[in-house]
Amino acid sequence: MKKFILLLAVSGLLASCGSKIASSNFDKGEYDRVIAVLSDRLDENNADQNFMLAEAYRLSNRLKDAAPYYRNARNAGSSEPGVDYYYARALKANQQYDAAKEILTSFITKPRGDEKFQELAQIELDNIDKIDNLSDAQNYYRVKNLDDLNTQWAEYSPVIYNNLLYFTSNRSGGKIYGVTGTPFTDLYRVRTQGANVNIKTLQPLEPIINHPDINEGTMAVSADGASIVFAKGNSGKATGNNEVNLYFTRFRNGQWLTPRPLSINMPDSWDSTPAFTPDGNTLYFSSTRPGGYGGADIYSAQLNRRGRWVDVQNLGPQINTPGDEMFPFVSEDGKMYFASNGHPGFGGLDLFAATRRRGKISVENLGKPMNSSSDDFALYQFDLTRGFFSSNRPGGKGDDDIYTYINEDPDLKVVNYFVEGITYTTDDANNKIVLPNTKVSLLAENDEVVGESFTTEDGKFRFRVYAEEDYNLIGEKTDYFTTRKVFTTMDKTVDRTTLTEFITNVTFNTEIMMDRIVLEKAIVLNNIYYDLDKWDIRPDAAKVLDSLVLIMNDNPEIFIELGSHTDARAPDDYNMDLSQKRAKSAVDYIIGKGVKAERIVAKGYGETQLIVQSATTEEQHQKNRRTEFKVLRYNPKEQEDEEPEVEVNTSTNNVDEYDRFFDEDDGSGK
């Protein structure tokens, strides 16, 4: 598998290495050359040489081949802190699970072992203990090698758009990449009807995308086919892995434009394996940037209305582990499929499905035959029951191969939940009108951002939601108050036993009313009451003031005055003093909730601004006794005027002749 190379520091190795040539090659990341040099002159009793050779195999993604050299290094007394851990990983990749457990158990109990690697060893030991359960788990997958496409070289990361199968390969030969000893990879496309490939139509993508001296990696195609995002790097001209980045290009006037790096790339990090959500509003990718949970983690970025990717977020420890997580794919039923060697698996990278239930993420290994002790990765669904993935398992055509799969689970039923709505405002006559181009965010109960989008010209938005969860919908637009609306799917779950269709879509409707920010316009806070002649904040008033705190937090650009008014049934001086104390008490409460003092001032008006001048009834007096706020100053965010990075629209793929391929299956499941 040549799709990712993660370079790790090897402490104290180079100074004692038995071969200066190999040492120099290793320092440059030329692992295949290290293997060639040391294989000819290896001293089995030289711990440093054996550890370097083992690391060269591991870092060029040949972990199975590294096992005997980790063993030699260990037996020769290597002082490298990771030798036991990586030896066990190599044994696991060769399905020598009992031997791997023995090494890990011994290493964990060492009194002065390396703490970091001992923690990793414990995780690996726990994962190995779960292999039997993974093997026994029932599933209905059938897999088959895509023989018409695969070669002795690497083919991986399939993506389909409009009956075109895109993939990554080094099948055309060319210049050799020193890290792996194989040719640089390029992007290809071929006509296909489902899994029936027309190999005569195979061709590499244009030279403006493919470069003979650089690896082009995994790609993602926008829903309208007008844009692609792909990984590019690993030219071998720089040490480390900091040159691997995500690039984008658009199809204009019959040709692809010059690819440009995405703004979300992180210097000195490996950013790769991009994938769009079905609606095109979220980009998932894998990265080794600082602040993650281990090696490569999966991140998300949101598409803003100017066509740029923003708000990069790590998906958290429910998805990411101290190992590597990569190759995300979000399916039409809301599941995220990805590859990992950190979750419990059979050896190398395994395929997993992450499902959201009641606000929590559960991760499930897809089991055999989807997974093996080799690397299984880059799943792409053609529809909810079939698709493609990549693997370098034994029995393939060569290096990485593309496989097809079908899920024949007879009880497979899918329920999709959505919330859709429209953003509105009001005109001067208080008539409701549509408010387009409004940013709407869907937040889970813990304020996790589940989705973001901008409303269309007719004000519409739509999000996938999940059963039995509470949400907040947040509307944001320049010159309007950011508005928060509660939405829930609690007690609205469909009874699956009543379903007759394979796919059931449930849509909830709502709307968000947005108020324009008008300076000095008074807005009444209803139901704020005080005891007679007092200014203490009562519990019922606190609830209303908490809503103002939320408004202040959601609208950090506003500076307000909080005003208190009385009726006219006491002397003027008394009412003025009482209203000032009440206003200050309310402001102090709000500041105590974390709002900066400079953003809010207290103002007592007494009876100087009566709504009902000659009040006679208690209802009229209550109208005069009120608390209001008004915006004194508003500092809207400056909008960046940048060129869009990608254009993404919603569309769907159609199932064509995919079944015909499996009709020719020999029943072996291979």
Domain ranges of the chain: 414-513, 523-634
Q: What's residue 10's pLDDT?
A: 38
Least confident piece of the model among 126-140, 446-460, 592-606, 636-650: 636-650
* Amino acid at site 529: Y
Confidence of residue 237 (pLDDT cuts 50, 70, 90): low
* Amino acid at site 112: R
Q: What's residue 14's pLDDT?
A: 37
HEC string of 80-111 equals: CCCHHHHHHHHHHHCCCHHHHHHHHHHHHCCC
- What would the pLDDT profile of 402-445 be if each residue is shown by its tens digit? 999 999 998 888 999 999 999 999 998 999 999 999 999 999 98
Look at residues 183, 206, 208, 260 and name the one whose alpha carbon lies nearest to residue 229. 260
What does the alpha-carbon distance between residue 178 and residue 134 come to, in Å, rounded to a whole number?
37
pLDDT at 168 over 90: yes
- Residue 398 vs residue 552, higher pLDDT: 552
Look at residues 648, 639, 553, 650 and name the one whose alpha carbon lies nearest to residue 301. 648
pLDDT at 15 over 90: no
Mean pLDDT across 341-358: 94
Q: Are the C-beta atoms of 302 and 452 separated by less than 8 Å?
A: yes
Mean pLDDT across 598-625: 90
Look at residues 417, 401, 432 and name the one whose alpha carbon lies nearest to residue 503. 417
Confidence of residue 13 (pLDDT cuts 50, 70, 90): very low
Q: What's residue 647's pLDDT?
A: 55
Question: What's the chain's average pLDDT?
Answer: 88
Pairing label, strands 449-454, 460-465: unpaired
CA dihedral of 382, 385, 386, 388, whole degrees rounded to 10: 80
Confidence of residue 646 (pLDDT cuts 50, 70, 90): low
Q: What's residue 516's pLDDT?
A: 95
What is the CB neighbour count within 10 angstroms for residue 612? 15
Q: What's residue 651's pLDDT?
A: 37
Confidence of residue 623 (pLDDT cuts 50, 70, 90): confident
pLDDT at 448 over 50: yes
pLDDT at 659 over 80: no
- What would the pLDDT profile of 481-502 be if each residue is shown by its tens digit? 999 999 999 999 998 888 888 8
The domain defined by 523-634 folds into 60s Ribosomal Protein L30; Chain: A; (3.30.1330)
Confidence of residue 619 (pLDDT cuts 50, 70, 90): confident
Strands lying side by side in the sheet with 523-525: 523-525, 626-634, 558-565, 600-606
What does the alpha-carbon distance between residue 347 and residue 364 come to, in Å, rounded to a whole number?
16
Cα 222 to chain centroid, rounded: 16
* Amino acid at site 34: V
- What would the pLDDT profile of 201-214 be if each residue is shown by its tens digit? 999 999 999 999 89
Least confident piece of the model among 186-195, 304-313, 380-389, 600-609: 304-313
Question: How many percent of the chain have pLDDT more than 70?
Answer: 91
Find residue 113's DSSP bridge partners.
none
Give domain 414-513's CATH number out of 3.90.1640.10, 3.10.450.50, 3.30.365.10, 2.60.40.10.
Answer: 2.60.40.10
* Helix, coil or strand: residue 25: helix
pLDDT at 508 over 90: yes
Confidence of residue 639 (pLDDT cuts 50, 70, 90): low
Q: Are the C-beta atoms of 578 and 533 separated by less than 8 Å?
A: yes
Q: Are the C-beta atoms of 646 and 274 separated by less than 8 Å?
A: no
Least confident piece of the model among 85-94, 299-308, 411-420, 657-666: 657-666
Selection from 33-37, 155-159, 344-348 with the highest mean pLDDT: 155-159
Confidence of residue 386 (pLDDT cuts 50, 70, 90): very high
Q: What's residue 19's pLDDT?
A: 63
* Cβ neighbours for 133, distance < 8 A, ≥ 6 positions apart: none
- What would the pLDDT profile of 265-287 be if each residue is shown by its tens digit? 998 899 999 999 988 889 999 99
pLDDT at 663 over 70: no
pLDDT at 17 over 50: no
* Helix, coil or strand: residue 193: strand
pLDDT at 229 over 90: yes
Q: What's residue 400's pLDDT?
A: 95
- What would the pLDDT profile of 535-580 be if each residue is shown by its tens digit? 888 888 899 999 999 999 999 999 999 999 988 888 999 999 999 9
**What token pair was written down for 459?**
């004000």
